[in-house]
Structure 1
Amino acid sequence: MLSRAATATLTAATHGSDGSDTVATLTAAAHTAGQVATVLLIVTAAVTFYLFTCLIWPFGKCRRCKGVGKFKSPFGNAFRHCGKCEGSGLRVRLGRHVINHMRAVRGAGQNSTSKGDKR
C-alpha cells in the first residue's frame, strides 16, 4: 500500500496535465547553467591574464609615494625617502605574491626528504 501511494504521487508530479511547466523549468535551468559557465570562463580568463601580466611586470607603483620614492619637505627643498618602499618607488603586486607563494609551496613539496628517503 505504501508503494502504491508513492507511485501515484510520483506519477502525478512528473506527468502534469500539459507538460509545458517542465519544459519551461528545464529551459530556464539550461539558460542559467550556460550563463554561469560563461561568467566562470570570463573570470578564469581575466585571472589568467592578470597572473600572466604579473609574471612579466611584477612591480607596480608604491601607493604611498605614487612611484616617486621620496617626499618633499613642506618647507624648503629637502627630500626624504618613502618608508614603505624605502625609496625605490615600487611595490610587489598582489598577483606576484600569489605566484611566489605557489612556487614556494611547489618547491617545498619537491624538496621533501620523506618522499625520497629509501632506508
Structure 2
Amino acid sequence: MSSTPATSTLTAATHGSATGSASIDLAATVHTVTQAATVALIVTAVIAFYLLTCLIWPFGKCRRCKGAGKFKSPFGKAYRYCGRCDGSGLRVRVGRHAINHIRATRGAGTNSVSKGDKK
C-alpha cells in the first residue's frame, strides 16, 4: 500500500499547479478581450453604416399611415390626412434625429470671434 493520501493526487489533478493555472487564466483573459474587441468593432461598423444611410435617406415611412399620408373612410371616397405626418407619409428616422442633434450641438459652440462681431 502507498503512504500518500488519495485526496492529494485528486486535488493536484483537478486544480493544477500554480504556474499552469496562471497561464490558463491569462489565455482565457486574452481570448475574452479579443472577443470583446471584435464585438465592439462589429457594433461600431453597424452604427456607422446606419448613420451613413440616415445621411443619404433621412426619411422613412410614417408608421401610423404606413406611408400613405391619409386614411380612407370605410364607406365612400372620403379621406383625412394623417395627424402624425401631416399628410406627407414620411417621418424622420431615429439616426437622422441623432445626426441633427450632433450638428446643432456642434454649431451652437462659441468661438473667440462670433459671426456677428467683426473686429
Q: Gaps (5+ residues) in structure 2?
A: 1-15
Tell me the equivalent position of 2:24: 24
The normalised TM-score by structure 2 is: 0.79
Q: Distance in 2 between matches of 1:71 and 1:24?
A: 65
Structure 1 residue 18, shift from structure 2 partner: 4.6
How many residues of Structure 1 are paired with residues of Structure 2 in the alignment? 100
CA distance in 2, matches of 1:18, 1:36: 27
| Aligned position for 1:56 | 56
Kindly report which structure 2 residues correspond to 1:84-95, keeping only aligned pairs within 5 A, or say none: 84-95=84-95
Distance in 1, Cα, partners of 2:30 & 2:76? 68
Looking at structure 1, the residues matched to 59 and 38 of structure 2 have their Cα atoms a distance apart, in angstroms, of 31
Question: Structure 1 residue runs of 4+, over 3 Å off?
Answer: none
Determine the C-alpha separation between the residues in 2 that align with 1:116 and 1:21: 62
Residue identity over aligned pairs, in percent, reads 65
Cα root mean square deviation, aligned: 1.8
Match of 2:108, SS state, is helix
TM-score (norm 1): 0.79
